[in-house]
Amino acid sequence: MVHLLSYIVFIPLVAALLVLLTPKVYQNLYRVLTVLGLGLTLVLIIFAVSKFDGSVQGAINSEANLQLVEKTEWFSMSLGSLGKFSVDYFVGTDGLNVGMLLLAGIVLLIGAIASWNIKEKQKAYFGLYLLLSSSILGCFVALDFFLFYLFFEFMLLPMYFLIGIWGGPRKEYAAIKFFLYTLVGSILILIVMIGLYNSVYDPVKTALEAGYEASQVEQVQQLVQDGTIKSGQIVKSFNMIHMADADNYIPGSFLEKSGLAKIFGQPARWIAFLALLIGFAIKLPAVPFHTWLPDAHVEAPTPISVVLAGILLKVGGYGLIRTAFVMFPDSAYHYSWLIGFFGMFAIIYGALNALAQKDLKKLIAYSSVSHMGFVLMGLAAMTVEGISGAIYQMYSHGLISAMLFLIAGVIYDRTHDRMIENYGGLASQMPKYTVFVAIAFFASLGLPGFSGFIAELMVFIGSFKSSAIPAWMPVVATTGLVLGAGYYLWTLQRMFFGKFWVKDKNWVNSLTDLNSREYLMLVPLVILILVFGIYPSLLLDLINNSVESFADHLFQFRK
């Protein structure tokens, strides 16, 4: 299957079209179509991941590292003396995004099953949902910055409507806040993209343009450096892989490696890195920019907050790795202390906030903020363990937070109330549900045997071992574990243990135990969390080589 990735990305889109085309009378056909579409995508993803062999060696900024690559010219405009403007449809997978792809496939399918009983405006809902899924999958596999940015922006719209229309009481506020936050972020990313675009050229295409063979890349790069190939012939490109390679920068350009250009005194590369960092940190969400997350989660309907927490936060993390860290390794090392600090701060700040929350979903949202702090710290460490820990954390947190939100959804669907103190002693009323809640909570607070522990352990040993961030940071961050245990067990104790008590009497008969659909969603997640907790090399073998070359790529720029 040559165009495997394109099929994966565009099958949900086709399904969306089908959903839009089927008339309103076949009401319940929509959700069946959605589930089928996403199910097929997941099968393809699993097939793709199985074909992906982890042993491929290759520098992170060379195309040798990529697999399942599809590269065709999308459109190009010649602007006379300003050189050629070319954007190509360039998708591929390497260690960094194979995990994300798998996670996206799984969580999207579960989200689709979870939205089984969405009642009003089904056609719009499932259409938007499929649109969202295809843009997410696209975003993960896109390797052309323009394409990546297109999908990144494309995600915003359906999510805005999904929260805005099917959300809770304060849905408009939450949807607008989410939209504006991410928009501001994406503007920063856009600026850097443009800056990068006009300082990076595609050696292969320039070679063809200037009459050399495609293979003489080094010679062409040399020629461009000493200016023999004029700017008219240079073919600019959005290709992320080329952007990562330092000698693909046009001499004297804005973001050139030697960093002559200055903006308010700082080298341009640093400012570009900061802009990307802030842009994706908003999406991640890192602490100062995280306030949209609790609102968005609380107001979003359950399946949407599953997808939001499950995958959308990972797009921020993945974006950080793919754009900020790969393209600006020198400035990444320069700011590593800052990122590490913010990561550690996020862990503790998120945990403390979760401790004080009254609303179960808000609590889970803040716990996501805390867990995403691990990703930041892992990346700041820039060691192999740290980075693979960060990727593993993104993967495992995706699964765990999906399960957590499903659990919150189970209660909300029954009683439309999420306040923790309105319940007591649910264990005796809903024993099976309590088992799943306990598993989710313990997995989330990092009990060994679940995937969360492996990720956190790797992040800790990675960041302690790294010379990029001081040793006290991981040690202070470990207090996050205790706080995590604190708020989870306290919630468990308040809501589930003790005598059965419910604030509103007529909830009693509605608080039934899990039904088969909920099992269908929760059991696979539990199995996955356990499997990836006991046997992590399933994912680690895939990402090992890419992470190693990524770490070497970063390491070169360390003093």
Partner 1 sequence: MIDLQDIILPKSDPIIYWIIALLAIPFFSFLSTQKFRSKAPHWSTFLLGLNTLIAIYLTTRYWNSDFITVRGHWFKLGETQITYSFLVDRLTLIMSVIVNFISLLVHLFSQEYMRKDKAKPRYFAFLGLFTFSMMGIVLFNDLLFIFIFWELVGLSSYLLIGFWFEKKSASLAANKAFIMNRLGDLGFITGLMILYTQFHSFDLEAIKSLMIYSEIEGGNWVAQFTNNGHEIINTLDGRWLSAAGIALFCGAVGKSAQFPLQVWLPDAMEGPTPVSALIHAATMVAAGVYMLARIFVILDAQALEVVAIVGAITAFMAAIAALSQFDIKKVLAYSTISQLGYMVMAMGIGAYTSGLFHLVTHAFFKAGLFLSAGIIIHQLHKLESKEVMFNAQDMRVMGGLRKHMPKTFFCFLMCALALAGLPGFSGFLSKDAILLDLAVWADIKGGGFYIPEVLAFATVLFTGFYTIRMILLVFFGNFRLPIIMQKNELSGRLKEGNWIMLVPVAILALLSLSPVFGFTLNAEHTWFVEAMPTPIYLVPISYAAKSLVDVTPETFEALHGLVNAVSIGLAIVGIVIAYLAYKPNAKLEQEFVERREPRGFFGQVSFYHWYQDAFYRKAILKFVMLKAQALSWFDKKVIDGIIDGLAKFNVVFAHLIKWFDRYFVDGLVHLTVFTSGRIGQLTRSIQSGNVQAYILASFVFLILLMLYLVF
Identify which range of 164-172, 194-202, 488-496, 523-531 contacts partner 1 by CB under 8 A: 488-496
Identify which range of 209-217, 239-247, 261-269, 457-465 contacts partner 1 by CB under 8 A: 457-465
**Distance, CA of 144 to CA of 89 (rounded, Å):** 7
**Closest approach of partner 1 to the CB of residue 323, in Å:** 23
Nearer to partner 1, 134 or 383 (CB): 383
**Closest approach of partner 1 to the CB of residue 285, in Å:** 11
Nearer to partner 1, 428 or 515 (CB): 428
Residue 421 binds partner 1 (CB under 8 A): no
Residue 442 binds partner 1 (CB under 8 A): yes
Q: Which of 182, 397, 387 is nearest to 289 (CA)?
A: 182
Nearer to partner 1, 161 or 460 (CB): 460
Residue 489 binds partner 1 (CB under 8 A): yes
Contact predicate 236/83, CB 8 Å: yes
Residue 45 binds partner 1 (CB under 8 A): no
**Distance, CA of 141 to CA of 126 (rounded, Å):** 23
Residue 510 binds partner 1 (CB under 8 A): no
Phi, psi for 467 (deg, rounded to 5): -90, -5
Nearer to partner 1, 259 or 425 (CB): 425
From residue 204 to residue 223, the character string flagging contacts with partner 1 as x (rule: CB under 8 A) and all else as - is: --------------------
Residue 499 binds partner 1 (CB under 8 A): yes
Tell how far CA 234 is from the center of its chain.
34
**Distance, CA of 468 to CA of 470 (rounded, Å):** 7
| Contact residue for partner 1 among 152, 160, 179, 496 (CB under 8 A) | 496
**Closest approach of partner 1 to the CB of residue 59, in Å:** 15
SS3 string, 201-269, reads ECHHHHHHHCCCCCCCHHHHHHHHHCCCCCCCCCEEECEHHHHHCHHHECCCCCCCCCCCCEECCEEHH
Residue 384 binds partner 1 (CB under 8 A): yes
Identify which range of 91-99, 117-125, 208-216, 446-454 contacts partner 1 by CB under 8 A: 446-454
**Closest approach of partner 1 to the CB of residue 557, in Å:** 18
Residue ranges in 169-198 that form contacts with partner 1 under rule CB under 8 A: 177
Residue 428 binds partner 1 (CB under 8 A): yes
Residue 504 binds partner 1 (CB under 8 A): no
Residue 22 binds partner 1 (CB under 8 A): no
Residue ranges in 514-553 that form contacts with partner 1 under rule CB under 8 A: 535-537, 540-541, 544, 547-548, 551
Q: Which of 62, 98, 8, 61 is nearest to 391 (CA)?
A: 98
Residue 397 binds partner 1 (CB under 8 A): no
Nearer to partner 1, 203 or 386 (CB): 386
Identify which range of 27-35, 113-121, 319-327, 460-468 contacts partner 1 by CB under 8 A: 460-468
Residue 453 binds partner 1 (CB under 8 A): yes
Nearer to partner 1, 207 or 354 (CB): 354
Contact predicate 131/98, CB 8 Å: no
| Contact residue for partner 1 among 461, 520, 526, 530 (CB under 8 A) | 461
Q: Which of 354, 363, 375, 86 is nearest to 242 (CA)?
A: 86
Contact predicate 122/165, CB 8 Å: no
**Distance, CA of 318 to CA of 300 (rounded, Å):** 23
Preceding peptide of 285 cis, ω within 30° = yes
* Dihedral angle of Cα 15, 18, 19, 20, to the nearest 10 degrees: 120
Residue 165 binds partner 1 (CB under 8 A): no
Q: Which of 483, 317, 333, 323 is nearest to 390 (CA)?
A: 317
**Distance, CA of 446 to CA of 453 (rounded, Å):** 4
The CA-based angle 88-94-98, given to 5 degrees, is 110
Q: Which of 102, 247, 237 is nearest to 538 (CA)?
A: 102
Residue 458 binds partner 1 (CB under 8 A): yes
Q: How buried is residue 72: exposed, middle or buried, by Cβ count under 10 Å (0-12/13-18/19+)?
A: exposed
**Distance, CA of 382 to CA of 399 (rounded, Å):** 24
Residue ranges in 339-378 that form contacts with partner 1 under rule CB under 8 A: 349, 352-353, 355-357
Residue 433 binds partner 1 (CB under 8 A): no
Return residues touching partner 1 (CB under 8 A).
177, 288, 291, 349, 352-353, 355-357, 383-385, 388, 425, 427-428, 442, 447-449, 453, 457-458, 460-461, 464-465, 474-475, 478-479, 481-483, 485-486, 489-490, 493, 496-499, 535-537, 540-541, 544, 547-548, 551
